[in-house]
A and B are shown apart, each in its own frame.
Chain A
Amino acid sequence: MALANVGTPARAGWWKKNQRKLAPWLFLAPGMLMFLVYVIIPIFQSLWLSFFDWDGLGAKTWLGLANYTELFADEAFYTSLKNNVIWLVLYMLAVPAGLFIAIFLNQTVRGIRVYKSLFFFPFVISSVVVGLMFSWFYAPGFGLFFKLTEWINGTGYAILADDRYVTYGIVAAGLWPQIAYCMILYLTGLNNVSPDQVEAARLDGAKGWSMLWNIILPQLRPATFIAVVVTVIGALRSFDLVSIMTDGGPYGSSRVLSFYMYEQALSEYGYRMGYGAAIAVVLFAIMVVPITGFIWKMVRDERSGG
């Protein structure tokens, strides 16, 4: 009893003294714990797993760097890497395309909200649905695209059956929702463009391209930055469309790294956990570059802003 009486004021005092310092950490704790358990620890587990040969059931065998040496001699890995580069480059088209649609829609006409939501629609529907729609669009025999090429050419063209064009066909499907995403980013950005500056520029005789390039775009820099980053990340994790539209085929020519990782580690014929983990590590290394850039810029902006 006496002890408690002595102890309580002391403890309360310590809490009072450090409350301000502790509160943010306490509020952060649940999120940080989740992040640690579901993001940080699995990253190291993947790295660790990539040094083993493991089928998910039996015992793990230590391989050292053998998974990586195999990976760097693996033809399929380079096909996937090449396709990732194609994705990355072509996916960037979503940024200017989104910008132009946003500028086009940034006007006050009757019912503009309806048009805006129609343009935003592809981003709202599931990418599985987008993939299905596009695979019907390309489908040999009855697809709209197939019929169109048949009408122009005499023979229809099945884009998803051709190893040369299949990736472009899938990227086109991926661009559709991604353009909508960039558009919405730019539409919000355009709301914040200062009308005074536009007015001043107009008085100085700026219009058309020079107005866009010198006045509007600099003010849209934050939107552009986010649009580029989400597009890069979107391109690198382009898994769903590949899985829905081609399953990596024909003969593996439309694989991307994320899909190859899934195939090796988790698909019906896979269960090479170590090899899949090695692909994951390489993909992570590639992704870390834009993500670090993104975080670094955010921190810098906040420092200079505050």
Chain B
Amino acid sequence: MKTTLKTLLLGTAAAVALASSAFAEQRELVINTDTSDPAPKAAFEALIKDFEAANPDVKVKWNLFDHEGYKTAIRNFLTADAPDLANWYAGNRMAPFVKAGQFEDVTDVWTANGLDDQLKSAAASMTIDGKKWGVPYTYYQWGIYYNKDAYKKAGVTEPKNWAEFVANCEKFKTAGIDCVTTGSKALWPTAGIFDYINMRTNGYEFHMDLTAGKVAWTDAKVRAAFAEWAKIVPYTSANHAAIDWQDAAANLVQGKAANYVMGNFAVDTFKKGGMTNDNLGFLIFPEITPGIPRAEEAPTDTMHIPSGAKNKDDAKKFLAFLASAEQQTKINATLGQLPVNNKSTVSDDPFIKAGFEELSSAYALAQFFDRDAPAEMAKAGMEGFQEFMVKPENLDKILERLEGVRAKAYK
């Protein structure tokens, strides 16, 4: 704390002293991000301010994009007018840019700053062809969020395993409560359910092989996972195909539904709907096949240097700054998420703490279906999951279709 204040004072003093002549010598660092929601925006504002204070000779130019538009914009600005830094996602999501040579290899930043050790949990998902292509700064856990009042009303307790979870569903039904709720209009919530059921039924390695296109969708093990899923499909909220995830969150808040497989970002929505730490519960997705090491979903947000960047030296400085334990603690306190750096500290929020324990004790971390699988497979897969949840009898047709997509998508 003392040092930051000191550097800040020094920085201000230096800036004042050098005044007009200094501006000409300041190097510009252009950063593009899509962190336009209130919390991420505040986190980046603070981060950039701290960085400028620590490096008074660098002036950051920060371009803020809206979340949806960014997905298209990044493809344009990487080729046309590359910034010095841009945020994106780990895993297969960054693969097209890495393969097209749009991202800079930053392995040296990792080795020079001891990140291989400090960011160990996300190292695998930042590596392609043995090189590191960016720095992760935050992730969050997935799991089952549940309504404790609904549990009380139906007279059930927290399930210890999958069999108990399924048995509870029957009791919820008699109480007139949906056992599981989701809103699949935007497709991706279905992938969270599939990822967990597949990882719990067949294990992390199998799930990764499946998303990497090494296993057939018609494999007996995939069918086994869908068979487990079929057990809870009848107890899932009807009409989920027409609603968004926020609408389904309302089901949980109002006690019309008991469980929701979701990411930790949903806690904010639940609490705005009126839930508190007293009646909102969190469960690690229960074990299905006994003895399989527990893997979890932890989508990771990352920062990259485009290969067309003009100021790569300062960009690398920024990455090292972003990777530091101190900054990750600060950013994630604002974001309400988990720092990737294992030297960072987490906040007191019970869900953040639960997530930290869940992820730090996990055997392995998956990124999420649409980040682990390539885009074409992800889209077809999630559509298949949605169809399965509406018409489980179409399973054979769905799996054959997905197998057809697999043949094309992994060229």
* Residue positions of A touching B, CB distance < 8 A: 55-58, 70, 75, 138-141, 158-161, 163, 246-247, 249-252, 263, 266, 268-272
Contact = CB atoms under 8 A, between A and B. Distances in A.
Contact of A57 (B97, B238, B390): B97
Contacts of B72: 266
B386 A251 contact: yes
A259 to B, nearest CB: 13
A269 B102 contact: no
B375 A140 contact: no
Interface string B375-404: 110110001101100100000000001000
Contact of B96 (A55, A140, A263): A55
Nearest to B370: A269
A57 B96 contact: yes
25 contacts: A55-B96, A57-B97, A57-B100, A75-B401, A139-B243, A140-B238, A140-B239, A141-B247, A158-B241, A158-B242, A159-B242, A161-B238, A161-B240, A161-B241, A246-B185, A247-B185, A249-B185, A249-B386, A250-B390, A251-B384, A251-B390, A263-B379, A266-B72, A268-B71, A269-B375
Given A57-B100, A161-B390, A251 B239 contact: no
B336 to A, nearest CB: 24
Contacts of B384: 251
A104 to B, nearest CB: 35
Nearest to A263: B379
A158 B239 contact: yes
A58 B242 contact: no
B4 interface: no
A138 B239 CA distance: 11
Contact of B99 (A58, A252, A266, A272): A58
B102 A249 contact: no
Contacts of A55: 96, 100
Please name the 7 residue pairs, one residue from A and one from B, whose CB atoms are nearest each other, closest first. Answer: A269-B379, A161-B242, A250-B241, A158-B239, A140-B239, A251-B387, A161-B241
Which DSSP category, helix, strand, loop or mixed, fits chain A's interface? Answer: loop
Contacts of A246: 185, 242
Interface string B74-110: 0100110000000000000000110110100000000
B187 interface: yes
A252 B383 contact: yes
Contacts of B75: 56-57, 271
Nearest to A138: B242
A57 to B, nearest CB: 4
Given A57-B102, A247-B186, 18 more contacts: A55-B100, A57-B78, A57-B96, A140-B243, A141-B239, A141-B243, A160-B241, A161-B238, A161-B390, A246-B185, A246-B242, A249-B187, A249-B383, A250-B184, A251-B383, A251-B384, A251-B387, A263-B379
A159 B239 CA distance: 9
A160 B370 CA distance: 24
A57 B79 CA distance: 8
A140 B184 CA distance: 13
A260 B401 CA distance: 17
A245 to B, nearest CB: 9
A190 B299 CA distance: 62
Contacts of A252: 383
Nearest to B397: A75
Interface of B: 71-72, 75, 78-79, 96-97, 99-100, 102, 184-187, 238-243, 247, 370, 375-376, 378-379, 383-384, 386-387, 390, 401, 408
Given A247-B186, A250-B242, A58 B386 contact: no
A246 B244 CA distance: 10
A51 to B, nearest CB: 17
Contacts of B79: 57
A255 to B, nearest CB: 10
Residue in A246, A251, A272 whose Cβ sees the most chain B Cβ within 10 Å:
A251
Nearest to B401: A75
Contacts of A75: 401
A271 B387 contact: no
A58 B100 CA distance: 5
A207 B17 CA distance: 94
A246 B97 CA distance: 30
A111 B102 CA distance: 64
Contacts of A269: 370, 375-376, 378-379
Contact of B375 (A58, A159, A163, A268): A268
A55 B370 CA distance: 17
B239 A161 contact: yes
A249 B241 contact: yes
Residue in A75, A246, A271, A272 whose Cβ sees the most chain B Cβ within 10 Å:
A271
Nearest to A250: B241
A7 to B, nearest CB: 46
B68 to A, nearest CB: 8
A158 B185 CA distance: 12
Nearest to A70: B408
Given A56-B75, A140-B239, A161-B242, A272 B97 contact: no
Nearest to B68: A268
Nearest to A158: B239
Given A249-B187, A266-B72, A140 B100 contact: no
A247 B383 CA distance: 11
A240 B197 CA distance: 35
A250 B100 contact: no
A55 B102 CA distance: 13
A136 B78 CA distance: 39
Contacts of A160: 241-242
B261 to A, nearest CB: 19
B36 to A, nearest CB: 17
A271 B375 contact: yes
Contacts of B99: 58
A246 B187 CA distance: 11
Nearest to B394: A251
Contacts of A251: 241, 383-384, 386-387, 390
A114 to B, nearest CB: 36
Contacts of B102: 57
Contacts of A56: 75
Nearest to A169: B242
Contacts of A163: 390
